[in-house]
Chains A and B, each alone.
Chain A
């Protein structure tokens, strides 16, 4: 889902689009605000530990009403408490960060491509300017400006969210929201979760147009779409209601989410809003809002628990394909003419699935299965059903060394055409935390299916934030 406008920035083109979830990231500003280490909230950034999840679920606040006591940076008062008594004849009192909570994250990569037999230094791959915090007792915010290299083009991603937090079990988020259940932006690898990457609408189509000179009956015109093609992974402009509750005895608990989003673009590509719903329940472990069973181990990431969830998304994608070609004019001697063609594809689709997240001491296994049913993604009247899943294991050998192994499959069932071969993804990786805010990742992105053979990619990433 990208709303693109092109602007030249030096020698590189700059693309503007919505990107990134409004979920808790590794934001050093929060470490500064509370005077605490990154690992208070992260197993290894950006992957959250149980306390980080409770912090997010409390609206970016310390659990159990402890935010004020835990805050080290003095906020700037925007009104004394007494003004509450004057309301509505006075503004409701609030505060804001005393210092602009600005953070920077830089990711650099060495990329080795098997098919191109090349190694490239992508220094940097991306630079992120992050900010997040609270605005008084019941508002919070998250913003990000990201500049990322995409094949020597610089892409600018902007994300801004304001959230109303009247209760921990009810938050109202407006801005960029993430419909998918396991946050793609909290992963430890460069590789995205493969089930989120399926785009059933094509990037280009071959259209037919009358040939003006009649040498052939029709011309074949390659047409492409300017609209972003929907995929589950992308952040979307929308409104989300969500919340969390602790379970019995303060352990685990419920998380839920309902959202209404554009589906495509900042200006909606069609007249229908997409809708999503999610719910999950965590059995055992630390409470979703904090409290409950505390691990007595020194290993701060441990949170023996099982979380299961289900999710649903329904939407409509709309893409306009336009293209043109030149042909000899039908009037002899008048030279070349431009022949254009366009097509509109409207596709209704649903996504349904379930996810899980299991922690057993130093091992975390999580994954999801989804089924996406597209009504007519190619404008040919043909429906497509997509089944996709992944399972990932993370093992914390040491707090500074985490092994990662992910396997995923995506298969598609075409109504008329022969089905393509299943795509099989394998991602082994190793995360080395040199410091709480400096890490290195060694990663392989492998395809085990025949069409994907010979296209493996290997990455060495250096990542730091401050």
Chain B
């Protein structure tokens, strides 16, 4: 950043004539440097887009699109009432449904405070095929009346959306 006193006195002849570039050359050099960095970043972005992006699906979409087993994704829907089972060693099983299709989810860990049967949920993990999903995270919500937007959309698609469930909720600034 800024330094009022130069570390050493500025030489009397700042630019040796031999290496002086014209303004145009300078600008080209600058653009080239910026171009290189941008290309590097664009390459990284494209690479990352292929590998580290997860799609969001509802249970019906998984069935319809024929998602391949082993795909990493987010799954959203409602936690089916009566489906939550607690096993030993913090293993939890529950069913995510959108009314037409359902997927069994297994998860090891602590559930967020607002995880409830009959409420919306978004989980991230790996689809294991034949209606099974292994979640490694269950996303928290900040408010109990809040319905994750993807879940609401997925439910709407399946015709199971009841308006009024998404009353305006207080927001965090």
Are A and B physically bound partners? no
B-side interface residues toward A, CB under 8 Å? none
